[in-house]
Structure 1
Amino acid sequence: MSDRTLTQQLTELIVAKPIAPPDLEHAALLTLDAIANALAGRTSEPGAILLRWAEATLPTDAARRAFLLGTLTHILETDDLHRASVVHPGCVVVPAAWAVAAREGIRGHAMLRAVLWGFEAATRVGMAVGPSHYRLWHNTATCGPYGSAMATAALLHLDLPATVHALGNAGAQSSGLWQFLEAGTMTKHLHAGRAAEAGVLAADLARYGFTGPASMLEGAKGWFAATCPDPDPDAVTRAPDGPWQLLLTSIKPWPSCRHTHPAIDAAQELRHRIVAGTIEQVEVETYPAALDVCDRPQPQSDYEAKFSLQHCVAAALTREPVDFAAFTAPARVELAELRGRVIVRVADPYASAYPQAWGSAVTVTVRGGERLTVRRTHAKGDPEAALSPIELIAKARMLMNQGRVREPDRLIDAILALSDDAALPELL
């Protein structure tokens, strides 16, 4: 039994963890993915609202900039996902690190080290909250502040006690509930922005001596006690010599909730094996969290369609590619009949394997009674089926074109050059 709190142990683990050049290169790729998502998010309806707000209120401090960038990054549902923690770390950590690095005039290597540290903190806390937390709480929102605080602490060169204070006060600001799904509101985007902002604020204050509770995680009136019916506290410091959690983070190839992706992947393979118009029934087997979030047979908006297993599978069975257009009103009308034939249910081995593996099976019954099944233990974009750097760069280019970036290749090259310790390019 250690006499140090979990937050102290987490801080020491991260600071001691060695960083190799490939770690920095991978961090640059995930930074590129996050920034491309933010730039594309500007052209959405909530993105336009956020930009009008930014113009009116002139958010010039780093915490407010982190809020804006984080919120934009999480809008289009194409940002990264760490499976074991069920956290989208990029939309929280990269905006915080970018905003503070830009303010402090910090170059690439230190920026990418901060990203690695931030991913590690957010995901390790996320792995410790237990599965029941996710039923009401959005892990990206609740665990994210630990990541943005850790990233900011790295950039500010806070010592260990100050970093612990920053993490304690970041945890005190954790929030984010799933109620927005009931009405399909824009609230989820705020979760990422507020998580990014909270960590920057907490670490900035710690720099000036503002203290926070060292036992925020495991204390009798702390975070696990308040929000986690079945926590796994040992997960915070488990396997300290393993790879950086950033290397275990999945990249999304499709613009929908990550819970839909293994089913999309399976359905896309089936599309090449069936004749159009012969589908009589579709069965999707998955894990409970996917149904909790994505059982939505009649989506009424683009955003609801991105959280509809029924719609996503129908789109994957009939369309190439599954892109932003697959979730629009014309697509929802076009796919309504097929969507009504999709049955979703929980089944093993997917239920018992979650969250370490996010899998699914799709079975199509075609005219004449033949049944065709494709199973996925992992989805495209997971570390086990990773996007290549070429595919990831192509995705970033697509997102930047969506965001009307004038010279996307120049910006892509500048972000990837951070692994060579280049200066940060200008963004917004």
Structure 2
Amino acid sequence: MPAASLTEQLAQRLQRPVDDAARRRAALLLVDWLGCALAALRYPIASQLRSVVQAQVSGSVVALGAGRRTAADALLLNAALGNVLEMDDVHRGAILHPGPVVIPVALAAAQAEGADAGELLDAIVRGYEATIRVGRALGKAHYRYWHPTSTAGAFGAAAAAASVLRLPAESLADALGNAGSRTGGLWQMRHEPVPTKSLHNAEAARSGWLAAQLALAGMRGPRRILEGEQGLFAATAADAVPELVIAEEADWLIHSTSLKPWPACRHAHPAIDAMLDALAQLDAGEQAQIQHIEVRSYAEALRFCDRAQPQTELEAKFSLQHALASILVHGRPQLAHYTAEACSDAELTPWRQRIQLIEDAACSQRFPAHYGASVRLLLADGRSVQAERIDAWGDPECPMSADDVLTKAMALAHWGGVSAGLAQPLFGQVQALADGGSLDALNSMLARVA
């Protein structure tokens, strides 16, 4: 008898019971995702997708700001919003963002099926597990051209939906196979001023949802979609590590996910933290003497975030120069520092030119297990100060507290135009889910988002 495929073995692992600690982590990450999604409501992509969704038939799933729609239509909107501000969660080893894809699918499935809070949180945990396991196995070569959040996210979406649908392992393996058969997303959109990255996430979510529905109906899927001779690894991942899909772990991998406190690409975060640490070593007078800034980080951070003169909000979020210049001029990073208007700030332009980016071999070697950076400030009197971060704030080694996450979510909701009178009880209802809170009550509050 042939050995079980990777999707079959993964499906078996996903069947195990979810514990209370993992459910609480899922609820916290739901708060974080919801804050990111609400903030995105102020951007053109939200109104563009909303117009498409509102033209479709109504249904049972809440599409943020667009009423109740079918699950597939709601996912077009909900799964696109969480990544718009680049403040969504991230898994370093997998180099991807599980939340924007997995959470909207889990929520849609729970609403469509009338599930309870526990079933929703279990679906999130299992969706993260599948996404991270597949993502970390894809390797760096895949990341060079492919968008892993979309590639691996389709597997996580299928797992999350299958959890709510209570599919047995055999059917889950079929769903994973069909979701993986047409997954992907190319990084070319990074080179053009387009919001296609968010569309990648929406399509991964919709693909996973459809795959789970088809598996429920009995449709088979390719079981060796990962390791097969014409499978995902062979086609897109020259340095894939297949065994990482099924490696033994001490706990659910949702606990190894990082959160992002700053409104920029995650690759910029360790440099942001190091910059804040370096500045803390100087008084105001000494800070005025800074002449030049050296940033050392890993190769991928420089590849994605070397933009000395960003022109748009998106380019600002992917500019190490802008991130550090903004701190020097304005202080602690805020959402308002990453707008199109901020890009043309006359105070920032000369400072961005004084920031030198250098690849650090040690940082590159540690990546993606650790996203590190060091910052060196050179002063007019010849002195210099330096700070280094192996890990960034929000990583498991330097976690954000529940209060930190709630503060972030409230600020994001405000940025998106959601009143504190709605946001405060909304996030409170999400936090209550881990203690048996009402999913129906949460759904009613979500439906009030305009």
Q: Structure 2 CA distance, aligned partners of 1:283 and 1:158?
A: 53
Using the TM superposition, give the Cα deviation of residue 319 of structure 1 relative to its aligned residue in structure 2, in angstroms.
2.2
Using the TM superposition, give the Cα deviation of residue 378 of structure 1 relative to its aligned residue in structure 2, in angstroms.
0.3
Instruction: List per-residue Cα deviations over 1:75-95 (Å, max 9, x = no partner).
Output: 111110011101100000000
Q: Are 1:252 and 2:260 matched, yes or no?
A: yes
Q: Structure 1 CA distance, aligned partners of 2:239 and 2:213?
A: 32
Matches within 5 A, 1:34-113: 34-58=33-57, 60-113=69-122
Instruction: List per-residue Cα deviations over 1:225-271 (Å, max 9, x = no partner).
Output: 1100110001111123x221111100100111000000001111223
RMSD: 1.5
Segments of structure 1 that go 5 or more residues without pairing to the other structure are none
Residue aligning to 1:419: 434
Of 393, 399, 416, 1:380 maps to 393
Of 221, 227, 244, 1:212 maps to 221
Q: Structure 2 CA distance, aligned partners of 1:2 and 1:144?
A: 28
Residue aligning to 1:11: 11
Matches within 5 A, 1:110-129: 110-129=119-138
Q: Are 1:266 and 2:274 matched, yes or no?
A: yes
Q: Structure 2 CA distance, aligned partners of 1:271 and 1:43?
A: 33
* TM-score normalised by structure 1 residue count: 0.96
Q: Structure 2 CA distance, aligned partners of 1:88 and 1:128?
A: 15
SS in 1 for 2:78: helix
Q: Is the 8 A contact 1:47 1:75 kept in 2?
A: no
Using the TM superposition, give the Cα deviation of residue 316 of structure 1 relative to its aligned residue in structure 2, in angstroms.
2.4
Q: Structure 1 CA distance, aligned partners of 2:104 and 2:2?
A: 34
Instruction: List per-residue Cα deviations over 1:386-417 (Å, max 9, x = no partner).
Output: 00011111111111222232311110111111
Using the TM superposition, give the Cα deviation of residue 20 of structure 1 relative to its aligned residue in structure 2, in angstroms.
2.1
Using the TM superposition, give the Cα deviation of residue 346 of structure 1 relative to its aligned residue in structure 2, in angstroms.
1.2
Q: Structure 2 CA distance, aligned partners of 1:321 and 1:54?
A: 37
SS in 1 for 2:140: coil
Of 264, 287, 298, 2:298 maps to 287
Q: Which amino acid aligns with 1:97?
A: A
Using the TM superposition, give the Cα deviation of residue 357 of structure 1 relative to its aligned residue in structure 2, in angstroms.
0.6
SS in 1 for 2:100: helix
Moved more, 172-181 or 42-51: 42-51
Q: Which amino acid aligns with 1:336?
A: T
Q: Is the 8 A contact 1:106 1:423 kept in 2?
A: no
Moved more, 269-278 or 109-118: 269-278
Q: Structure 1 CA distance, aligned partners of 2:315 and 2:210?
A: 32
Q: Structure 1 CA distance, aligned partners of 2:96 and 2:72?
A: 20
Instruction: List per-residue Cα deviations over 1:82-126 (Å, max 9, x = no partner).
Output: 111011000000000001101111111110000000000000000
Q: Which amino acid aligns with 1:123?
A: I
Moved more, 317-326 or 89-98: 317-326
Q: Which amino acid aligns with 2:20?
A: P
Of 140, 151, 162, 2:160 maps to 151
Q: Is the 8 A contact 1:253 1:380 kept in 2?
A: yes
SS in 2 for 1:84: coil
Q: Is the 8 A contact 1:107 1:418 kept in 2?
A: no
Using the TM superposition, give the Cα deviation of residue 29 of structure 1 relative to its aligned residue in structure 2, in angstroms.
0.3
SS in 1 for 2:292: strand
Q: Structure 1 CA distance, aligned partners of 2:52 and 2:290?
A: 47
Q: Is the 8 A contact 2:8 2:173 kept in 1?
A: yes
Instruction: List per-residue Cα deviations over 1:314-370 (Å, max 9, x = no partner).
Output: 122332331111112342223111001111121132111111111100111111121
Of 205, 212, 234, 2:243 maps to 234
Aligned residues with identical type, % of pairs: 39
Q: Structure 2 CA distance, aligned partners of 1:121 and 1:198?
A: 15
Q: Is the 8 A contact 2:273 2:392 kept in 1?
A: yes
Q: Is the 8 A contact 2:310 2:319 kept in 1?
A: yes
Q: Which amino acid aligns with 2:428?
A: D
Using the TM superposition, give the Cα deviation of residue 65 of structure 1 relative to its aligned residue in structure 2, in angstroms.
1.3
Residue aligning to 1:396: 409
Q: Structure 2 CA distance, aligned partners of 1:145 and 1:164?
A: 13
Q: Structure 2 CA distance, aligned partners of 1:368 and 1:183?
A: 42
Q: Structure 1 CA distance, aligned partners of 2:112 and 2:189?
A: 33
Q: Structure 2 CA distance, aligned partners of 1:297 and 1:260?
A: 13
SS in 1 for 2:86: coil
Q: Is the 8 A contact 2:270 2:389 kept in 1?
A: yes
Segments of structure 2 that go 5 or more residues without pairing to the other structure are 59-68
- What number of residue pairs does the alignment pair up? 426
SS in 2 for 1:175: coil
Using the TM superposition, give the Cα deviation of residue 2 of structure 1 relative to its aligned residue in structure 2, in angstroms.
7.7
Q: Are 1:343 and 2:323 matched, yes or no?
A: no
Instruction: List per-residue Cα deviations over 1:138-177 (Å, max 9, x = no partner).
Output: 1101110000000000000111111011000110121211
Q: Is the 8 A contact 1:43 1:403 kept in 2?
A: yes
Q: Are 1:32 and 2:39 matched, yes or no?
A: no
